[in-house]
Amino acid sequence: MNRTLLHLSLIPGIGPATVARLCEVVSTEKLDDLYLWSASDFVARAHLSLAVAEVVVKGLRERALLEQELEFIAKHDVLCCTLADEAYPELLKQIHYPPIVLYWWGIELSQFSSSVALVGSRAAQGYARQVIDVLVPDLVQAGWSVVSGGALGADTLAHTATLDAGGKTAAVIGSGLLYPYPASNKRLFMRMREMGGAVISPFPLTMQAMPGNFPARNRIIAGLCKATVVVQAAEKSGALITAFFALEQGREVGAVPGAITDPLSAGCHALLRDGAFLVSSARDILRACGEGEELSEKRDEKSGEAQGALVFGDELERICAEPQSFDDLLEQLGCSFQELQERLFNLQLQGRLTQDFMGRWQRR
């Protein structure tokens, strides 16, 4: 870990743009020389304003900033890397002014090289859960990881579904690791650490969550991933900020359509109108990312219950070779109302069944 970069990242008011300028004029191996520079050196050689130069000089003189952070890193078993380190994610390095430092608990960040961001509203509930339960198992089967923001709603659903499917998931949070936000998700964050995931932050370890942190966090979520998919979001949802950053970074942006009467799908529909790719299955995401994997029609399920659901889905498709009403399907399959409703929804979302104007179900 490059300690000079870590020290610079801890100086209030000094961000990635200033550090990038310093790295342009001083090689990584000679960054320690900055401790010897005066304010006039920073102005003349790095073309910083005098005000910024004085902030840098004052900050570098305060060695206690660095020593305290290093003490916290060791005490709390935190992993840390800077832009100059091999552990820094390659995809994130490619964005404009990447974060100087990343702190995390969990597995090495290199294991998230093939990742999709699944984001959405904090108010997301039933529909988002159904969508995520359709997308995540196939993404995991194809070897992809899921990144989100650790917030309530869609983020929590995405992380939980990935862990349940045996996959890797990372949460990029809007606070320092020692004050994880939201506090109500501490148990989820611990589960991620224990089950092969990661909890990541670009902020100093003791920083509390603040409104200004979340756009920066959203930018990192997009930067870590090859594609960002919005599963459910209102017109002014913060999830759309993540999608905007992904677009700005040249990454793929997808959205899941919903009911035209649902305000929580209005943001997704706006993205689709603006050119986002439509997501109805994991295959849509993989194709958008240029991947050649062809997902099998049946998932490699780990439980007999899940395998039974697949057989049930195949039987539904067979019966729906001809148009069938919901009541007819209930009678023929002998299943519960809720079970049939959920299976029909999943098959419709996957593009395997369609519903006509009379409400009858038919195979595509």
- What are the boundaries of each domain within the chain? 1-74, 109-288, 304-363
95: tokens are 């964005």
Smallest CA-to-CA distance from 172 within 239, 111, 103, 230 is with 103
272-298 mean pLDDT = 79
| Contact criterion met (CB below 8 Å) for 146 and 289 | no
300 or 32, higher pLDDT = 32
Residue 84 burial (10 A CB sphere; 0-12, 13-18, 19+): middle
Bridge partners of 104?
79, 200
Three-class secondary structure of residue 363 per DSSP: strand
Which pLDDT score is estimated for 114?
94
Identify the H or E element spanning 330.
Answer: helix 326-333
Smallest CA-to-CA distance from 158 within 216, 228, 79, 86 is with 228
321-348 mean pLDDT = 80
Look up residue 63 and give its amino acid: R
Which pLDDT score is estimated for 298?
36
| Residue for token pair 């490059």 | 2
| Residue for token pair 């309530």 | 152
Which pLDDT score is estimated for 325?
86
| Residue 312 pLDDT class (50, 70, 90 cuts) | low
322-326 mean pLDDT = 86
Which pLDDT score is estimated for 306?
40
Q: Does residue 361 surpass a pLDDT of 60?
A: yes
51-71 mean pLDDT = 94
- DSSP track, 89-139: -HHHHTSSS--SEEEEEES-GGGGSSEEEEEE-TT--HHHHHHHHHHHHHH
pLDDT in tens, 235-266: 888 899 999 999 999 999 999 998 888 999 99
Out of 3.10.450.50, 3.40.50.261, 1.10.3720.10, 3.40.50.450, select the CATH number for domain 109-288. 3.40.50.450
Domain 304-363 of CATH type 3.30.1310.10: no
Q: Does residue 62 surpass a pLDDT of 80?
A: yes
